[in-house]
Amino acid sequence: MGFQWDWMRSRVSVPYLPTLGPLLPEAMSRELLEDVFAVAGTGDFLPHDKDRRWSEHKNEWVLVDSVVQDRERTLIPTLTSRGILRLHLYGAPELLSEAQETAAKLAALHGAANARVVWFQEHPNGLVASTRVQLRTFDSPVPAVNGIEMLSETPANVAMTFTAFSERMAGEGFAFLNSRLDAVGPVLVAAQNGQVAGAIGPMETMPDPIGRSRLLPQYFGVLPEYRGLGLGRRLWRAAMHWGRRHGADYQLLQTTAGGASDRLCRSEGLVGLGFVCTSGV
C-alpha cells in the first residue's frame, strides 16, 4: 500500500487510532498501526484491545485497500459488522467536506447502512458535537470512599434492585452491562433508600500496547432523582481508588464535551488530550 507513517503522524492532533480508540501519546506508533492493519477482517483482537472483554470476535476492521493518503491528509475507513462505515480523517478540519464525500462513496461500495466521518481537534468547537479525550494518572495515593460498595457485597435486597436500575439507565449502557455481570469485573454502587441509586463499572485493568496497566472505561450513572447529592463524585473517586489499589498506571476516557461526566472529570483534574468529532454523511 505504500503507507507513510510520518505523513500521518504529522497530522495527528489527538492520540487516537481506528478500531482502538484513544491511546497514550507515547503508545502511538507505526508498529501499532501496522498491527491494526494486519488483523483487519480476521475477527481477531490485538492482545491489548479493550473491546476483548465484550466479545469473542472484533466487530470493526480497517478497509486497508481503501486507505487514502498524501502529505496533507490520511483517510482510514473502518467497517463494523452492523454496517457502519467510519472514515477517520487525519488532516485539517477544512478537509471535512471532501472526507464526507469519500465516506459516502465507500459506504455505497461496501453496502454500509450508515456512514460517518471521525475527525480530531486540539480545541473545542461549540458548533460541533464532540467528545473530550481525558487522561487520569495514578502516580499518587487515592483515598478510599465511604458508602460505596461492590454490587456483589451489598445486602441482597439492595442488589436485587440493580436490574431495575439498569433498565432505567439503559441509555448509559447499564442494561447491556447487567446482561454481562457474570463475565466482567466488579461494579461499584451507591445505595439510597434501600435501592441502587448510582453505579460505575465494570472495574477492570488491562496492559496497553507499551505494557503499562490501564484502568478500562466504565459505565457510569446516577438515577435522576438522586443527582445533585454528590453520589456521582463519590462513585468516581471510589473507582479511582480501586484502580490505584489494583495497580493501574492511568485511565483514558471519552466524555461528551460539556456534559455532566465531562464537567466532573475536569473538576477532578484530568488532563484533556483533545477532541474527537463525528459528522454524519
State yes or no: pLDDT of 2 exceeds 90.
Answer: no
pLDDT at 270 over 70: yes
What pLDDT was estimated at residue 124?
Answer: 74
**Amino acid at the residue 44:** D
Q: How far is CA 114 from CA 53, 99, 240, in A?
A: 25, 15, 36
Q: What is the mean pLDDT of residues 42-69?
A: 96
Q: Which residues contact 193 (CB under 8 A, 6 or more apart)?
A: none
Give the Cα separation of 194 and 159 in Å (integer). Answer: 9
The pLDDT of residue 127 is: 61
pLDDT of 88 higher than 70: yes
Q: In 169-200, which positions are buried (b, 16+ CB within 10 angstroms) versus exposed (e)?
A: beebebbebbeebeeebbbbbbbbeebbbbbb
Mean per-residue pLDDT for 69-95?
A: 96
pTM: 0.93
Residue ranges of domains in the chain, CATH in brackets: 5-130 (no CATH), 140-248 (3.40.630.30)
Distances (CA, A) of 87 to 79, 121, 245, 246: 9, 15, 38, 36
How does pLDDT run across 119-162, given as a tens digit for each residue? 999 887 766 779 999 999 999 999 999 999 999 999 999 999 99
What CA–CA distance (Å, rounded) separates 50 from 254? 14
